[in-house]
Chain A
Amino acid sequence: MIGLYVITGLAFTISFFIDREKTKKAVKIAWKKFSKILPGYLKILMILSIVLLVPNELIAQYLGESSSFLGIFLGGVFGSITMMPGFIAYPLAGVFLEQGVSRMVIASFVTTLMMVGVATYPVEKQYFGKSSTIIRNVVAFGIAMIIAIGMGIFYGELI
């Protein structure tokens, strides 16, 4: 986070000293891009703040009780629907682990949480187009399932 500010600050200062006009143009481009996508981000925020109302205990209960393949699949579905910043997602994964959710199901949940974005669709669509967005998310879901199965084999949870 601090790194981002340092790099942006440095890049901006250097750019400004080399060419003022270009830097002005950069700020204009940045603002134009930002203001165009802002409604998309706002939509995501509103969707997420409602989706996150589902209590974590309920998710943990579902994931802990389901059989192996169903658990992986459910973990993937829960993870795809919602989205969380890492500083919330990983402590939550730790809680799941303590409550007896298997590592492969956690893997499926955490991976789809980050890779598959049903909630981020409004933004991704605008940068990648509809069909590319849908295909990328389906592929990402598949990869997440393979990771989860790999975990299951490695930790001996699957067979």
Chain B
Amino acid sequence: MDKNKQSYLLFGVFSAMIGISFLTDFSLGVRIGENFWIFAWDMLRILPPAFLLIGIFEVWANRKTIEANFGSVSGPKRYIYAILLAATTVGGTFVAFPVANSLYHKGADYNSIFTYVTAASLVMIPMSIMEASILGIGFTALRLGISLPLVIISSALLGIYFKNRSYVLPKEATG
């Protein structure tokens, strides 16, 4: 049985157990079901438009443009673009992974996509606003101030490392 079918089968069993838990008021199962729904609802709303946008990006994005802005010829500019793109990515890393993969295959280099993915989990604008209101603006400013330089430095180093090893990202999800 291939891996995809295994996952779907596992998910079927999982759903059935949640269903039975709700019917029999089995509290542990009910709580798992509620936790599941918190994430599932988020993904259901975000993933379909996000993937559609990725599809549109893939047919229209010009390789040369991506290379010029996110490729190694772009120089330090590409880190700024990657961070700006990350700040506006909705859905965090769940969306950032497939976007980064598409960017890479359109000519972005490692440095840009590493910066993008890591920054996507750090600087999302709506989340940072929420953070500042709960933990204080100093907390948020300090977190971003320390992390962004580190993200850029580590992306640059990782970029060199992977280039030397001629590492290539998988073309797309293999299942």
Instruction: Mark A residues whose CB is within 8 Å of B.
Output: 1, 3-5, 7-8, 11-12, 15, 22-23, 25-31, 33-34, 36-37, 39-46, 48-50, 52-53, 85-88, 90-91, 93-94, 97, 103, 106-107, 110-111, 114-115, 117, 120, 123-124, 126-129, 131-132, 135-136, 139-140, 142-143, 146-147, 150-151, 154
Contacts and interface: CB of A to CB of B under 8 A. Distances in A.
Contacts of A40: 7, 173
Contacts of A27: 52, 55
B40 interface: yes
Contact of A126 (B45, B114, B130, B173): B173
Interface string B147-160: 10011001000100
B118 A136 contact: yes
A40 B150 CA distance: 29
B97 A115 contact: no
A115 B56 CA distance: 27
A29 B172 CA distance: 11
Nearest to B34: A49
A88 B38 CA distance: 10
Contact of A12 (B52, B100, B146, B167): B52
A8 B143 CA distance: 31
Given A34-B51, A41-B94, A42-B11, A128 B46 contact: no
Contacts of B56: 8, 11-12, 15, 23, 26, 30
B35 interface: yes
B50 A128 contact: no
Contacts, number: 211
Given A30-B54, A39-B7, A94-B134, A45 B43 contact: yes
A23 B60 CA distance: 9
Contacts of B33: 49
11 contacts: A1-B46, A45-B39, A48-B36, A85-B92, A86-B124, A114-B121, A126-B174, A146-B146, A147-B143, A147-B147, A147-B150
Interface in B130-175: 130-131, 134-135, 138-139, 142-143, 146-147, 150-151, 154, 158, 161-162, 167-170, 172-175
A143 B170 contact: no
B93 A33 contact: no
B53 interface: yes
B36 to A, nearest CB: 4
Nearest to A5: B49
B51 A135 contact: no
Nearest to B161: A135
B87 interface: no
Given A30-B51, A86-B124, A127 B59 contact: no
B43 A114 contact: no
B73 interface: no
A147 to B, nearest CB: 5
Contacts of A23: 56, 59
A93 B122 contact: no
Contacts of B168: 129
